[in-house]
């Protein structure tokens, strides 16, 4: 069969299709979005499974767990920080266990290309005590995702698949294998089973079972396929490299580039058996770690200090403690560790101005920021708590429109907290999709106490930043949600962010900031990217 041209994300999507899933659940987030979009396209054509964006990542895991309970396979997709939102059901789903195979894909973003941190999902798999796969290339994305569904069912626990930006967003030829038959009917656990009811008495029984199954998995046949020691003839016996995920690729490129070699342990599956690591490091004086993310394996190896080899990596300053592993860093590290000369730039880059991302020409957010800025100019010391989306770019000149931005939905709670501290004028600014994701619950607290604060909801009718996915809280639906959350109708205002409406918008924003209670202003105008596509 011909190879397919797939992004790492799409390879995971294709694997889920071939695994015969009953449903895909997720919330958009770079670099994970294309997994779900691939699945959505497929579902629209074949109607073989459900693929609807969830309100947020927590809901996505819960929906997938429900599908798993009912006996069908399910996949959940999210970006790195999405797992923070989903952590509660994710960690607890390890205790309930699964019925239909459940695979949770987390696309990490080392180097923070499109994220607010570079957290490493391997720690979450560890926290939940479940298996984790970390592919090195797009073919492994497919193969590991296929294996993950089987392993999830064989071991009765969810499996985490960790991608990084470079794997997720790189295209390569991928071979696919024969599909599994999708399950037509629900296949429920017995009605009298207590396994899924996490009362303490049940959980106390389930947790040791989880640990037992985890150990059985670790020592079973699967990790042996994905974690292996490669000995290179003529390589120095005293040195070895442990390369995880993408690290293995950069290492192999650097071997070629520098004309060096070393024995290595390639790791793609967790937990890693201590016996395998012991076997690899025995007799070595120095071991270099290549991990694209936190020093996860490195930290575990340091427990051996004093009797084992020197561990070279992020923790001893051998390489930088932060940032993405890339070909430059890998070549530099390997030349330091094994010799050879790492290439440097042949032609120097002169000093040139930066070109940061910016709001599009004609973006409605620009008009809202202009009006807000003017309303604030006569109301000091006002502060604006921002949120996650295109409008975070309002932080940059010429807008300089926000003072903080932390995580999804954070604008609402922070505006309330600052107001509680005595800040007059406290403003939150959030997009419609982000409000649906996690802005509603903090608004409930603000209305319950009628906190003096103004929340501006930028309703551009889409999830624009990630490429215009459907929003669950837009238009009249959004209006009704805000009313239902307890915002008084006279302090729920709608503005149209357009240059022609500037004076009127400044006036409305100012009036609501002067009101000493909760007010919400919905700035309603469609994203111009979507408008462009409709033309």
Contact footprint for another protein (CB under 8 A) = 3, 5, 7, 30-31, 33-34, 113-114, 137, 166-167, 169-173, 246, 248-250, 252-253, 257, 326-328, 330-331, 343-350, 352-360, 390, 392-393, 465-467
Q: How far is the CB of 99 from another protein (least distance, A)?
A: 34
Q: How far is the CB of 156 from another protein (least distance, A)?
A: 34
List Cβ<8 Å contacts ≥24 apart for 124-129: 124/83, 124/87, 124/90, 124/91, 124/160, 125/160, 125/162, 125/270, 126/270, 126/271, 126/296, 127/91, 128/90, 128/91, 128/93, 128/94, 128/158, 128/160, 129/94, 129/210, 129/211, 129/214
Is the Cβ of residue 198 or residue 252 nearer to another protein in the bound state? 252
Q: How far is the CB of 492 from another protein (least distance, A)?
A: 30
CA distances from 477 to 224, 362, 474, 482, 483 (A): 51, 25, 6, 9, 10
The CA distance from 101 to 83, in Å, is 19
Is the Cβ of residue 96 or residue 469 nearer to another protein in the bound state? 469
Is the Cβ of residue 184 or residue 534 nearer to another protein in the bound state? 534
Is the Cβ of residue 120 or residue 292 nearer to another protein in the bound state? 292
> Structure tokens of 298?
């490195």
Q: How far is the CB of 307 from another protein (least distance, A)?
A: 34
Helices 57-69 + 82-96 axis angle, to 10: 20
Q: How far is the CB of 5 from another protein (least distance, A)?
A: 6
Strands (E), 412-524: 426-431, 453-459, 492-495, 518-524
Q: How far is the CB of 226 from another protein (least distance, A)?
A: 17
Q: How far is the CB of 367 from another protein (least distance, A)?
A: 17
Pairing status of strand 453-459 against strand 228-230? unpaired
Sole residue written with tokens 């502060």: 383
Is the Cβ of residue 4 or residue 92 nearer to another protein in the bound state? 4
Is the Cβ of residue 72 or residue 166 nearer to another protein in the bound state? 166
Is the Cβ of residue 56 or residue 366 nearer to another protein in the bound state? 366
Residue 74: CB atoms within 10 Å: 32
Residue 56: CB atoms within 10 Å: 23
């Amino acid at each position: 069969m011909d190879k397919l041209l797939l992004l790492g994300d799409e390879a995971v999507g294709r694997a889920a299709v071939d695994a015969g899933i009953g449903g895909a659940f997720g919330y958009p987030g770079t670099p994970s979005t294309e997994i779900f979009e691939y699945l959505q396209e497929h579902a629209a054509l074949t109607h073989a499974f459900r693929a609807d964006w969830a309100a947020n990542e927590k809901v996505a895991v819960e929906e997938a767990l429900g599908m798993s309970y009912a006996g069908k396979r399910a996949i959940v997709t999210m970006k790195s920080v999405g797992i923070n939102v989903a952590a509660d059901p994710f960690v607890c789903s390890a205790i309930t266990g699964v019925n239909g195979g459940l695979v949770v894909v987390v696309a990490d973003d080392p180097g923070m290309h499109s994220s607010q941190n570079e957290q490493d999902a391997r720690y979450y798999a560890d926290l939940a005590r479940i298996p984790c796969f970390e592919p090195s290339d797009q073919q492994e994305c497919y193969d590991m995702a296929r294996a993950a569904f089987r392993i999830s069912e064989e071991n009765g626990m969810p499996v985490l698949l960790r991608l990084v930006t470079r794997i997720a967003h790189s295209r390569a030829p991928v071979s696919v294998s024969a599909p599994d038959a999708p399950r037509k009917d629900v296949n429920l656990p017995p009605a009298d089973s207590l396994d899924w009811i996490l009362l303490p008495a049940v959980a106390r029984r389930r947790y040791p079972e989880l640990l037992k199954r985890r150990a059985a998995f670790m020592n079973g046949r699967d990790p042996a396929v994905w974690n292996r020691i490669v000995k290179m003839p003529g390589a120095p016996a005293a040195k070895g490299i442990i390369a995880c995920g993408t690290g293995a690729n950069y290492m192999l490129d650097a071997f070629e580039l520098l004309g060096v070699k070393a024995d290595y342990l390639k790791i793609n599956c967790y937990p890693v058996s201590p016996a395998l690591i012991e076997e690899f490091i025995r007799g070595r004086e120095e071991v270099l770690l290549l991990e694209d993310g936190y020093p996860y394996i490195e930290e575990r190896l340091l427990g051996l200090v004093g009797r084992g080899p020197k561990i070279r990596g992020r923790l001893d300053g051998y390489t930088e403690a932060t940032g993405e592993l890339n070909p430059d860093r890998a070549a530099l590290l390997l030349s330091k560790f094994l010799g050879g000369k790492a290439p440097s730039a042949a032609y120097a880059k002169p000093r040139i101005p930066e070109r940061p991302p910016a709001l599009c020409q004609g973006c409605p957010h620009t008009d809202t920021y202009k009006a807000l800025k003017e309303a604030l100019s006569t109301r000091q010391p006002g502060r604006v708590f921002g949120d996650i989306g295109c409008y975070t770019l309002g932080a940059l000149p010429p807008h300089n429109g926000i003072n903080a931005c932390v995580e999804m939905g954070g604008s609402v709670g922070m505006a309330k907290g600052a107001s509680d501290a005595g800040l007059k004028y406290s403003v939150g600014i959030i997009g419609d999709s982000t409000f649906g994701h996690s802005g509603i619950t903090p608004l409930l607290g603000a209305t319950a106490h009628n906190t003096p604060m103004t929340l501006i909801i930028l309703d551009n009718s889409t999830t624009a930043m990630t490429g215009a996915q459907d929003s669950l809280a837009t238009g009249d639906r959004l209006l009704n949600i805000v009313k239902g959350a307890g915002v008084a109708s006279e302090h729920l205002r709608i503005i149209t962010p357009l240059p022609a409406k500037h004076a009127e918008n400044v006036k409305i924003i100012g009036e609501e900031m002067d009101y000493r209670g909760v007010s919400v202003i919905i700035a309603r105008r469609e994203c111009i990217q979507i408008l462009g596509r409709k033309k």
